[in-house]
Amino acid sequence: MAPLKVGDKLPEGVKFTWAPILEEDPTVCGRPQEFDANKEFAGKKVVLVSVPGAFTPGCQAFHVPPYIQKLDELKTKGVDAVAIIAFNDAFVMNAWGKVNKAKEPVYFLSDDKTQFSKNYGRRDGTISYSENEPNPGQVTVSGADAILAKL
């Protein structure tokens, strides 16, 4: 699949694997299940953030936490959900979400089938912002502040 551009539609059939964070027992992982992005995000404004891997230094220190910390600001801009996507398996993504104290509507999704690995931004199925970081290890165009400025 070619990288998505602003104005593109999210291709049909993009699916992730998701292990829900169980609030009743945070030491237990939810059973991995299919997460159909087209179905789950239909009619919603969703910020999709694709990262190279869970727990990587830049992603954990600078990229992901601001999305959780600024969730209320994102919601005031009409964002319904935030999805953090990496190639790691659903159990690792679940653990990463727990470490960051994430709760719905922040989803830590596994792109273990690599159907969706380099695409950012979606508004009701249409890409509204798409950028790739020009310098690996630095968070500039894909950070929470950059997204808030574009909403």
Which are the catalytic amino acids?
A: 59
Whole-number Å distance between alpha carbons of 15 and 17 = 7
Please, are residues 55 and 61 in contact by the beta-carbon 8 Å criterion?
A: no
d(CA 86, CA 109): 7
Tokens found for residue 73 = 């600001």
* CA–CA gap between residue 98 and residue 37 (Å, rounded): 21
Distance from C-alpha of 42 to C-alpha of 19, rounded to nearest angstrom: 20
- The Cα angle at residue 41 between residues 31 and 113, in degrees rounded to 5: 50
